[in-house]
Chains A and B, each alone.
Chain A
Amino acid sequence: MTTRRNFLRQSALGAGALALPASFGAPLGSTPPKRFIFIRKSNGIRPNEVALPSFTDQEKSLDAKRQPLEVDLDKHELPEWMRPVAAHKANLSILQGLSCKMSENGHWSYSSVMGAYKSGRNSLSGIKRATIDFEIAKLFPSPFGHVELSLTGNYSTFRTGIVSGYSAPAPHQRNYCYADPQTAYNELFKSVINPDAVNSDNAMLKFLEGEESFKAGVLQGYEKLKLSNHIDSIDSIRARNKKLKKMSRAIAEHLPKLDAVHADGGLNASTPEKQAAMTDVLVAALVTGLTNVLTYTIDELSTPIKGIPGNEGDHISIHELGHNGGYSGIPADKIREKIRFGHMEQVATIVGKLKATPEGNGSMFDNTVIMYFPENGEGHHSHGTEAPFIVLSGDKCHLDMAGRYIRLPYHATEGHKTIGNWYTTLLNAHGNPTEHYGDFDLETARKKIDQVGSIKQLMRL
């Protein structure tokens, strides 16, 4: 029988878990949960863009030849576009050498990059498993379970409202996501800013519970069980809504202030303004305890880029940048760098705000892992042999990689690691003992090179 507890377990990130809670986070006084932020960016990250400018000749040579390499960041300068996170070098890792051939789909990866499989556009049947963010969210339950944000568009305008996302709660299912800061704000903090809507939902659920209970009263055996599951499910959602209401004071304290430009989807907001507002919402969702896992598509190829410094009036297509088109006389590479710089500013803001939020004897950031990575490997038209990850992790996270530039052995050579190994590392380090997450790399398999499991040297247990 589905008990209340079972219900919560089943619904923890079950289908379409947006705004649908599993259970509540750790009670006050207990160990804080770990938090994970996955930031997806489009157009690839070319490995040389993350190479350190202060490499010695030998290091430079090894890096260029894709040979294994590890250096301490405190002895090096970061690439110019990473300057915003320079203050957090001690928590920063640059992870090079991972491959993602099993998820590489050309321009876009949709759910693939976070599921380590190939799923095409609009093809639900290609979604083979829950994406890594949903798997991790199961380990750190929260009222919303998992939150997905995105800034995407149709080249001319931004998408707004609640739209289909990229993460997958389960095989053959696609998540929903909030596509603009105001919608994310309205939905996440609904219990405070629109209690009438919550009350009306509760009234509906109460009515439904009454109806189904009446029907169940005349049934017996297995049929009664079916309806009692229905009733339990309704009952549990009502219970969650009640708890959210109880949290409203804490939520109110941390409500971000959104500029009026974001109203009605924020059609006039520039890309940097949208990013800044999304960062505020993202941080508030974590600080209020509404979620512990966030996935944020900071851009995809069709996201319009408007109002970036130096190209304020240009209407920039990221796709065109991938084909080397420049704007207002500024070359594509330079604009790509500026876009990444803008992303790093947001990452630095997130880190800064979490570090400024006390938790236990430290800060919230101590328990946070932020990953910034390309959705499709190393370029605009990728091969998937490289997929650089920029990771910022707090001291209490179970990762042993902070403060280092790490280049792992190249694709399909002995010791090579895929994004599947990296995701397995995240899972194993945080309580899911799975042997391996994700599809295998077929070239590595053909060469009979072992590729199962976590990257042990990056774990700290």
Chain B
Amino acid sequence: MTRFSKTPLLFFAVGMISMGSSLWGETKKKSFNDFKISEEAADLLENYCYSCHEDGTEKGDLRLDNLAELELNSRLDLLNKMQEQLHFEEMPPKKKEQPSEVERASLVSWISDELEKHNASKLEDKLRMPDFGNSLSHDKLFSGDYAHLKPYTPDRRWLISEFIFDAKFNQLLNHKPIKTIDGKRQTVIGDNNRRVNLTNPFLLPTNSGVRYYDTTTLNGGHLLTMITNAKNAAVQMTEHLAKRDKRYLPSFTALMTEEDRHHGILESRRRYLDSFIEPVLVDIYGSKHKTLLPRFEQVIVKEAAAQGEIKKAPFHAANPGRDELVLIFRSMRRLKKGGDNDKQLIEKCEREWFNFGHNPRKVQARITFLRGYMEEWRSQIEQHRYDEKHKPLVYKPHGEAEMKIISSTIRKHRKKGDLYQTIIDKCMTDWEEQFKQARLQAGSANDEVIAALIAELFTHIYERPTTPEEASKYLSLAKNYLADLGNMHGVQKLIQTLILRSEFVYRSEFGASNPDEHGRRMLSPRDASYAIAYSLTDSSPDTELAAAAANGKLNTRDDYKREILRLLKKRDQFYVIDEGVQRIQLTASITNLPIRKLRFFREFFGYPKMLPIFKDRKRFGGDYDGSKGRLVGEADRLVEHVLKNDTNVFEELLTTDKFYVYHSGDNEAMTASSKRIRRIHEYFKDMDWENFEVEDLLKHKEFLAEVKMRGIDVSNLAKKGRRNPIREFKTALTSFALRFDQGETAAAPFVSFPAHGLYNASTRTGLQLRSPEVAKFYNIQLDHWDYPGEQPAKVENRKGILTHPAWLIAHAQNTETDPVVRGKWVREKLLAGTIPDIPITVEAKIPDDHHSTLRARLASVTEAKYCWRCHERMNPLGYSFEIFDDFGRYRLQESLEHPDNLVKKGPDKAANHVDLRDTYKNLPVDAKGYLRGTGDAALDGEIKDAIDLAERLGKSARVRQSIIRHAFRYFMGRNEFLSDSKTLIDADMAYLKSGGSFNAVILSLLTSDSFLYRKAKQPE
């Protein structure tokens, strides 16, 4: 123990500073005699640590020479940090003498033992987390030295994702939305606008990179939400779906037969009495009927105040609602006699409504409405053909037996002065009670029906039959529920119970075969079918895959291969890529690639993260909010395009200079739309169209009828209300002329003015292609754009997704770029590097100085020695992106946006081709940096800018392997172990041998031992 008071410790400067003051306050308080340090560990600490971290030196405000004196929790915290720093080889610092691998392991082992005594080790949990994926040495993984290890994944439950949640409930609740895509009606998956009110509790984190890991466990928040979801789903299944379609839950329908029959009778009687109570009463009571009626009490309706200059609310904003209008109409038609004026008619209606027992407020509202809007109302009756749509109800008796029951019950209950509604209510209560007693006497449902219902529910909810034990257990539970709550609520409770079981919210992946010589067992065929289906889609296995699992055809690697290849080739199912994108300006966010294949790159690059970033329209210089959905949608389209080619996928994504800009993805349609504008322009350009009158336009009506222009119907060119065809013609021609006045050869087919009707170009879902201002992100001027109908097409000063504006915005701040975040992304995602957490004591703030560039300001706080140790892994990469501003626009000068630097104010509003930006003083951009860490001397070195960086990254083997590591995590849902070395090397080889096919990578990963085999335990 004495050693602790003497020798200083060197390490833990970075990431441990936060321990400083809070620990030292506690040091003298308590001593824990049970804390022992092994002889070996003490020597190692002395040799490698004390020189920096003891009383007197305390580098990073940290000393480790008094561990024994620390209060237990503080010591455990410190040991955890020590364990982490040693494990990740962050300490001792690289320039200091390093312990051997054995020595490091020995020290870690001692710390682990100490932590284990108190069950306090956090390292194991941390290593499972996505942030620690790169902590395993890349060189070791790909060296081949570990390729002999036998890969496997631990047996596991894997909490469902937000996407699987939606797919499961959509399946359960028969939600099958249809969209028109490329002119055909198609079912789509991923459109979750269900009728049922469900809250998705399984949201994935919003970081870029792999988001869906098997480490999340169900917590209280999930379960609380699922209780409400289960209730709502149960109501939908029983009260709506099963009622609408008797095949949905046939045993439930059988169980409810008697109740449904009674309900049908009751409803039929209610409808009958609601419609014909008066003639029925007259039939029963004859002339006595009138004497039994209640005394009429008129409602009070105030006279309207004098209207004067006041704007009167229009009919649509003052009527009492559709159902009320129909009721009023029926009363008016029935009671109208020739010669009645409005007042008399209204009074007759009121009497009828009173006798019926309608709520006085409703009657008051009807009369107020009729008095104020009779003229408009009559016009509506005619216009909307009320007479035709709502035929008179013709009274006839309801059948002899029924009429006998109805008559006798009415006689039994009617009292003098009863309103009609009171009589109906009394009868209904009587009949309901009679039916209830009849059902009670008939006894409870038989076990066969309940057992069959349980089997149906298992099929719906778990997509499998019950086991004998389950059948017995759930029969007993269901009988209790039905006895306590009645049939309807009992079944609803049973459904809730099944949805709340862990089986519904967890995917199950357990080994099932006999273990091999390494203790590994292959996935059960059923679990394998789900593992494969959820790898490529969010849905459970399709018919073929489920059949393969059920029929013994999912037992070998070849079986897996056959099914995976089939699913990869499947193109008959469309998916919504992102509902958020779809809602912005009608963007068509769809694909028919297996959705998870596309989603890997979407999440890996993280460009959709730009959507919630709140950015200034004025600084963008146009409609930013409208354009952002299109920008993300077109990034998706680019990824889809590269994936469909499936050749050199990583290199293409990192280095392509071809992009989609304001394009639907349909080259033929976009080219035709562009050509049409040129044709119209060419036709009129030499005419005096600016001074055209209607008669001039009529001279060209054959041409106009052929080309069709927005807002111009040649058969009706007269000006009416807001419609002004000649103005719209000139607006369009002016806009077309702008697109060609600088020698352009093709025009972007955007609309010239907002209006309903014809579009210049459509999305693949048949809606107007909007937001041409997306071009502004690429420094393209709308009035000076040789629009390429064939896309993706070359765009200047761009290279790959990292130069796509969506990625650049997603990795920027609201008003500035972010070289640190961009550099960190490259380091971690492409170079398999690690960066320690930011120390808590560091306030991550870039100083304000409106005379300097962001780079200069950032350098002033991050290039100090202490900070640079980490920042040198990020900044030199991130600086290279400074050739793009925070909207992703290419630039050579950085605008120093500050009121003091304002040179010229831009307009606040203007046509979409005008740049609304204010102009500020500026300074030249310095985008130079350097690349280290590719492991390839030909690629490492000084870089000119992000385009230079992208070119080098595209050639790097380490980058390729880093993407494969992320793909591994995405498809396996976990970090790689050293024992996965062979899987990774195989996937890398598959990519190389196939000429850069991502399908080959997926196939390799999903047929690897890591995917096929399970073991009960985590590896050491």
Contacts and interface: CB of A to CB of B under 8 A. Distances in A.
B497 A207 contact: yes
Nearest to A157: B321
Contacts of A54: none
Nearest to A325: B313
Q: How large is the interface on B (under 10, 10 to 19, 20 to 34, 35 or more residues)?
A: 35 or more
Given A11-B219, A163-B197, A315-B365, A326 B154 contact: no
A17 B614 CA distance: 27
Interface string B488-531: 00000100110011100010000000000000000000000000
A317 B497 contact: no
A326 B611 CA distance: 41
Interface stretch (B21-29, B200-208, B401-409): B200-208
A226 interface: yes
A237 B227 contact: yes
Interface in B573-600: 578-580, 583
A37 B625 CA distance: 33
Contact of A156 (B217, B301, B311, B322): B322
Contacts of A227: 157, 502
A93 B197 CA distance: 38
B528 to A, nearest CB: 18
A457 to B, nearest CB: 24
A10 B32 CA distance: 33
Contact of A325 (B224, B305, B314): B314
Interface in B89-115: none
Nearest to A327: B313
A250 interface: no
Interface string A204-225: 1001100110010000111101
Contact of A233 (B222, B307, B314, B364): B222
Interface string A12-45: 0011111110000000000000000000000000
A229 B497 contact: no
A263 interface: no
B727 interface: no
Chain A interface size, under 10 / 10 to 19 / 20 to 34 / 35 or more? 35 or more
B221 A442 contact: no
Contact of A445 (B317, B501, B612, B815): B815
Contacts of A157: 321
A398 B155 CA distance: 53
A237 B368 contact: no
B398 interface: no
B317 A320 contact: yes
B855 to A, nearest CB: 19
B321 A156 contact: yes
A175 to B, nearest CB: 8
Interface in B845-890: 848, 850
Contacts of B571: none
B199 A174 contact: yes
A6 B307 CA distance: 64
Contacts of A378: none
A446 interface: yes
B582 to A, nearest CB: 10
Contacts of A15: 199-201, 221-222, 224-225
B368 A314 contact: yes
A329 interface: yes
Given A16-B224, A171-B203, A223-B155, A332 B311 contact: yes
Interface stretch (A119-127, A277-285, A369-377): A119-127
Contact of B320 (A10, A156, A222): A156
Given A120-B583, A171-B206, A317-B313, A221 B619 contact: no
Which of A313, A316, A447: most chain B CB closer than 10 A? A313
Given A200-B485, A329-B306, A442 B814 contact: yes
Nearest to A448: B898
A261 B501 CA distance: 40
A44 to B, nearest CB: 18
Given A317-B317, A332-B311, A226 B218 contact: yes
B616 A443 contact: yes
Nearest to A267: B359
Nearest to B193: A122
A170 B616 CA distance: 25
B614 A329 contact: no
Nearest to A154: B321
Contact of B199 (A173, A212, A306, A326): A173
A164 B227 contact: no
Max chain A CB contacts within 10 Å: which of B203, B317, B322, B362?
A: B317
Contacts of A18: 228
B220 A176 contact: no
B156 A223 contact: yes
Nearest to B156: A223
B224 A20 contact: yes
Contact of B221 (A10, A117, A163, A215): A10
A230 B502 CA distance: 7
A315 B206 contact: no
Contacts of A7: 219-220
B312 interface: yes
A421 interface: no
B365 A229 contact: no
A14 B220 CA distance: 8
A61 interface: no
A222 B220 contact: no
Contacts of A325: 311-314, 317-318
Contacts of A326: 307, 310-313
Contacts of A63: none
B493 A204 contact: yes
B1016 A442 contact: no
B899 A448 contact: yes
A260 to B, nearest CB: 12
A122 B583 contact: yes
A307 interface: yes
A172 B496 CA distance: 24
Contact of B477 (A171, A207, A319): A207
A330 B305 contact: yes
B319 interface: yes
Given A174-B199, A225-B217, A204 B225 contact: no
B493 A314 contact: no
A1 B820 CA distance: 34
A128 B899 contact: no
Given A120-B583, A329-B308, A442-B814, A312 B364 contact: yes
Contacts of B572: none
B911 interface: no
Contact of A10 (B219, B321, B361): B219
Given A204-B493, A207-B477, A329 B304 contact: yes
Contacts of B616: 442-443, 445-446
A324 interface: yes
B199 A447 contact: no
Nearest to B324: A156
B369 interface: yes
Contact of A329 (B225, B307, B364): B307
Contact of A448 (B361, B372, B578, B850): B850
A172 B899 contact: no
A178 to B, nearest CB: 13
A324 B309 CA distance: 12
A10 B222 CA distance: 9
A307 B197 contact: no
Contacts of A155: 317, 321
Contacts of A232: 220
A317 B197 contact: no
A16 B225 contact: yes
A6 B219 CA distance: 9
Given A233-B224, A329-B304, A447-B899, 10 more contacts: A11-B221, A20-B225, A172-B203, A222-B156, A223-B157, A306-B361, A313-B302, A329-B306, A446-B815, A448-B848
16 contacts: A10-B221, A14-B222, A16-B201, A123-B580, A170-B203, A174-B199, A203-B480, A203-B484, A204-B500, A208-B500, A233-B219, A312-B361, A317-B318, A320-B314, A329-B308, A446-B815
